[in-house]
Amino acid sequence: MTGSEPPLPDPGASPAGGEQPAGGDSGGSRSRGRGVTGSRRATVVGAGSFGTALAVVLARSGLRTTLQTRTPEQAETLNRERANEVYLPGIELPAALRIECVVEGVARADHVFLAVPSRRMDEAVEALMRGGLHKRAAVISVAKGLTSADGLPPTMVLRSAFGAHRVACVGGPAHEQEMVHEGAALVAASTDELLARSLAQIFTRGGVVCEVSNDPVGVELAGAAKNAAALAAGATGAQGLNAAGAAAGHIFAEVWRYAEGLGARPESLIGLAGTGDLVATVLASESRNRRAGELLAAGVPAAEIPERIGQAIEALESTALLAQALERGGVRAPVTGALGRLIAGELPLSEWVSLVRTTVPPPARWRRRGGARAGAGGRWTERWLAFWRRITGRS
């Protein structure tokens, strides 16, 4: 979703204007945006394909929107042409959309959308702190991968810096061209209900359907699983559709077992942010992740694929992190791990396909006799029945 954006430069000291710097919340301020709807400001950091499309939608929704580019030269080009022909060709940028370089900082923003690759999330956090982020501004990640330092979902990094109530993420099937022209089906997720609902309202006003979720970690891991699964399907499709489907299914199952350990819910991976996004990615003729898998299968080294495609490929960099996170979490993940080795050039394609075809998932955890009475729920049922027998005198 994020397109291609090289590392962020140092935005320097906080801009003038009396705004408070970023950091932990000081006294329970809640992040809803600091003004009424018509005066709220949004800043999108990253002018790749999704960042540009997102800025267009936000401007349409009525927010005073700024799109920040990596370099002054890119900002000058977009301002002159009022289009981003490199990453989102054919889309006219709204007249109300402000375009500037990232060095301008984010002091004016009520909502900051980070449309940068997940591997740069730590760097983005540092840039926000230097850029004058207001202490009540919301920070929203739209990345679909894990951070490079610890292999964590981006919101886990953001909430340690800014507080959980100021942090959200966005997932779901959102092909950029279609989102601008026809709409999309997004998921806005935060542990803060009002923040999630306010984001959903913003997207709705911009012509995009948006589900509300309180499971940001599940939504982010669904996106990471989707990218890896789409690449795996692309790498395996020429060897058979059953193998491609098995590769994607194994990866989702392996990531789910890890997500469950972090408290995520299954509906996040089987809903819009997971399988819905996977279908959109695999079917898209210009899908970067699927195309990357096809090029891997054709023998193109992973290091050469971004240049061939013309944009960064999130799954090429995040799959190894995903496999490491599953291993640290004690999750048996042979297919995700093998995909990481395939990307690294350590596993031949034939061995990858053979592993996918022969891997058997862990056995089901069978319930004991008594069905619903088994486990924690069963213990509660047994206690309730014992109480009922005492008060009714029945055996």
> b/e map of 95-113 (b: 16 or more CB within 10 Å)?
eebbbbbbbbbbbbbbbbb
The residues, ordered by sequence, that sit 6+ positions from 372 with a Cβ below 8 Å of its Cβ are: 378, 381
For helices 241-261 and 349-358, angle between their N-to-C axes, nearest 10 degrees: 70
The pLDDT value given to residue 363: 82
Instruction: Answer with the residue of higher pLDDT: 163 or 32.
Output: 163
The residues, ordered by sequence, that sit 6+ positions from 131 with a Cβ below 8 Å of its Cβ are: 11, 14, 15, 22, 102, 105, 106, 107
30-34, 213-217, 232-236, 274-278: the lowest-pLDDT one:
30-34
Hey, what are 130's tokens? Answer: 């230097």
Q: Spell out the domains of the chain, with CATH numbers in brackets.
A: 37-214 (3.40.50.720), 218-358 (1.10.1040.10)
Q: Return the DSSP state at 371.
A: G
**Residue of 144, 166, 226, 288 marked active site:** 226
Sequence-ordered strand ranges (E) for 143-208? 167-171, 185-189
Whether the Cβ atoms of residue 59 and residue 34 lie closer than 8 Å to each other: no
The pLDDT value given to residue 22: 40
pLDDT, tens only, 41-76: 999 999 999 999 999 999 999 999 999 999 999 999
Measured distance CA(291)–CA(199) in Å, rounded: 31
The pLDDT value given to residue 284: 87
What DSSP string describes 44-62? EE--SHHHHHHHHHHHHTT
Query: Judging by DSSP bridges, how do beta strands 185-189 and 167-171 pair with one another?
Result: antiparallel
The pLDDT value given to residue 316: 93
- The residue-averaged pLDDT of 260-275 equals 92
pLDDT, tens only, 329-357: 999 999 999 999 999 999 999 999 999 99
Hey, what are 26's tokens? Answer: 């000081």
Whether residue 226 lies in the annotated active site: yes
- Of the candidates 83, 196, 194, 186, the one whose C-alpha atom is nearest the C-alpha of residue 144 is 186
